[in-house]
Amino acid sequence: EAGVAQSPRYKIIEKRQSVAFWCNPISGHATLYWYQQILGQGPKLLIQFQNNGVVDDSQLPKDRFSAERLKGVDSTLKIQPAKLEDSAVYLCASGRMNTEAFFGQGTRLTVV
Amino acid sequence: QKEVEQDPGPLSVPEGAIVSLNCTYSNSAFQYFMWYRQYSRKGPELLMYTYSSGNKEDGRFTAQVDKSSKYISLFIRDSQPSDSATYLCAMSGGDKLIFGTGTRLQVFP
């Protein structure tokens, strides 16, 4: 079974630029999560989708972050404009509701 | 109060020791409990998954859930240097999946 795919693996941008991350979940998983992990901290949920509907986006900074999941499969997370404090690893995970989540390798973002 | 509390460590033990990692939580709705292992520069990897209270064993790893105390543990027997990583507890119930901050474990030869 293929795992969660994320791209790119690494990205370096200047502040105020925009960036987008892509995630392809495990086939058949209706739930998709985007987490932000700052160095030394646990993952923080940004947004959770169930199929293509948003379940929880309470911690998503909506003035600069946006996410979509078209057709209930792939998802993209965008940051525009980026700030220095957005430097982190962005993790995508997928699962079935109320069960374990499986993670991709993450995208390491550095904002300079 | 955070929904999930986990001691960040670091925890440093000699090879062969028994390691105990713990998390406490406040939300009674949590029914599913997980432990993830995260190596540096990698995504979290699911180690153990349990439902409700009780114990679950998988090789050198034992997960324990005490819902009455809102306390979960992960025990690692005969720890190895390859176990050196950050261990994250996670819990779900309703629509939520919440992580602890992670405990960094170092096993030295």
pLDDT tens digits, one per residue of A37-66: 998 888 899 999 998 899 889 999 999 999
Its sign, for the CA torsion B66, B81, A109, A96, is negative
Q: Which residue has the higher pLDDT, A77 or B2?
A: A77
Q: Which of residues 48-67 of A touch B (CB under 8 A)?
A: 48, 50, 55-56
Contact (Cβ atoms closer than 8 angstroms) between residue A26 and residue B66: no
Name the pLDDT band for A1 (thresholds 50, 70, 90).
low
Tally of CA atoms within 13 A in the half-sphere of A28 that contains its CB: 3
**Separation CA A106–CA B67 (nearest Å):** 32
A100/B34 Cβ within 8 A: yes
Q: Scanning every residue of chain A, which has its alpha carbon at the shortest distance from the alpha carbon of B6?
A: A42
Nearest chain B CA: its distance from A89 CA (Å): 9
Average pLDDT, chain B: 92
Name the pLDDT band for B109 (thresholds 50, 70, 90).
very high
Q: Is residue A85 helix, strand or coil?
A: helix
* Ramachandran bin of A45, using left for φ above 0, alpha for ψ from -120 to 50, beta for the remaining angles: beta
B100/A100 Cβ within 8 A: no
B100/A105 Cβ within 8 A: no
B49/A98 Cβ within 8 A: no
- Percent of the residues in chain B that have a pLDDT greater than 70, as a whole number: 99
Map tokens 């979290």 to a residue.
Answer: B44
B81 prior amide bond cis, ω within 30:
no
Name the pLDDT band for A98 (thresholds 50, 70, 90).
low
A105/B88 Cβ within 8 A: no
B109 prior amide bond cis, ω within 30:
no
